[in-house]
């Protein structure tokens, strides 16, 4: 039976791109087969996801049926997408201003999901040439995350700054673009993937965020190989899917010190002999990152009490 990749899901249909040539059956203009899922999935409480590698069969009306979902390497609940390898996190430096606490919250979720983050600071063109304070803030943030081990790219959809570098990082992978609403995600995607003709949003200055313009998850095929999942923007994230004991491991710079802590299951908050706290005191762990860890830990404890 033929295999393929679900590149789009909409209104109960799954659009599957075949792994091989179409043979004697017709494909849509997008090179996909419109499929329904077998009823057995619903009985088992399973839903096919965009990004799933599937086995399908053809029906007499020229459509198809998704018969089997092959094992997933990764799975996200929000947005619902499978087999993503890389998350491109877009955070604007202006309109809205750069939010490192929100970036760290995204990084926690991405690390927990087992994805490799690629950080992009967008809208660099909006920084006034005389605004040295903002430029220094952005450069310091770039250096901070690069020291931790993340790759950081400075970008501008207006000037096409960084677009070639992003395109190179997307080749051969299934990647996801995500970030706070209004950071110019769709605008940058249009530059990175010419002809994608994605919707763009305007910033609501009153709310400090953009309108949600992406309505469904869809994989966009790249000329150099690989796919990009265009996913809805977020205005907030919560930790309901993450256990409090997992939080420390999602701060990757903590990991090289955590094994040396005196107590097993150390929270890195107050325990004697905590190597993470020692690294903080010697400047090996950034104070801003540690403060965000404290804040997220308390937020998770508060959420747990509410449920």
In the annotated binding site for Zn(2+), the residues are 261, 266, 268, 274
Annotated binding site for GTP: 122-125, 179-187
Buried b (16+ CB within 10 A) or exposed e, 33-58: bbbebbeeeeeeeeebbbbbbbebeb
Annotated binding site: 122-125, 179-187, 261, 266, 268, 274
Q: Is 64 helix (H, G, I), strand (E, B) or coil?
A: strand
Cis previous bond, 79, omega within 30: yes
Question: In sequence order, what are the residues at sequence separation of 6 or more whose Cβ sits closer than 8 angstroms to the Cβ of residue 41?
Answer: 47, 48, 66, 69
**Which element (helix H / strand E) includes 137?**
helix 132-148
């Amino acid at each position: 039976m033929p295999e393929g990749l679900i590149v789009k899901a909409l209104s109960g249909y799954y659009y599957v791109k075949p792994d091989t040539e179409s043979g004697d059956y017709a494909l849509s203009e997008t090179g996909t087969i419109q499929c329904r899922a077998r009823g057995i999935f619903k009985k088992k409480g399973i839903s096919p996801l965009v990004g799933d590698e599937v086995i399908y069969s053809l029906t007499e009306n020229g459509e198809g049926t998704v018969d089997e979902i092959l094992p997933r390497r990764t799975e996200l609940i929000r947005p619902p997408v499978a087999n993503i390898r890389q998350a491109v996190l877009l955070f604007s430096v202006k309109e809205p201003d750069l939010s490192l606490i929100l970036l760290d919250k995204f990084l926690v979720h991405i690390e927990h999901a087992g994805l490799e983050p690629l950080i992009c600071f967008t809208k660099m063109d909006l920084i006034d040439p005389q605004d040295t304070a903002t430029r220094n803030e952005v450069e310091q943030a770039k250096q901070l995350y690069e020291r931790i081990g993340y790759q950081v790219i400075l970008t501008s959809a207006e000037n096409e700054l960084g677009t070639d570098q992003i395109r190179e990082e997307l080749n051969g992978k299934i990647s996801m673009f995500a970030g706070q609403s209004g950071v110019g995600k769709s605008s940058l995607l249009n530059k990175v993937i010419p002809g994608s003709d994605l919707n763009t949003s305007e910033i609501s200055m009153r709310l400090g965020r953009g309108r949600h313009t992406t309505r469904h998850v869809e994989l966009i095929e790249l000329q150099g190989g690989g796919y990009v999942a265009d996913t809805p923007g977020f205005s907030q994230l919560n930790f309901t899917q993450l256990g409090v004991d997992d939080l420390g491991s999602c701060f990757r710079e903590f990991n090289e010190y955590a094994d040396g802590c005196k107590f097993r299951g150390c929270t890195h908050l107050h325990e004697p002999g905590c190597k993470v706290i020692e690294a903080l005191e010697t400047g090996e762990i950034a104070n801003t990152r540690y403060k965000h860890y404290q804040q997220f830990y308390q937020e998770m404890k508060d959420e747990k009490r509410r449920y």
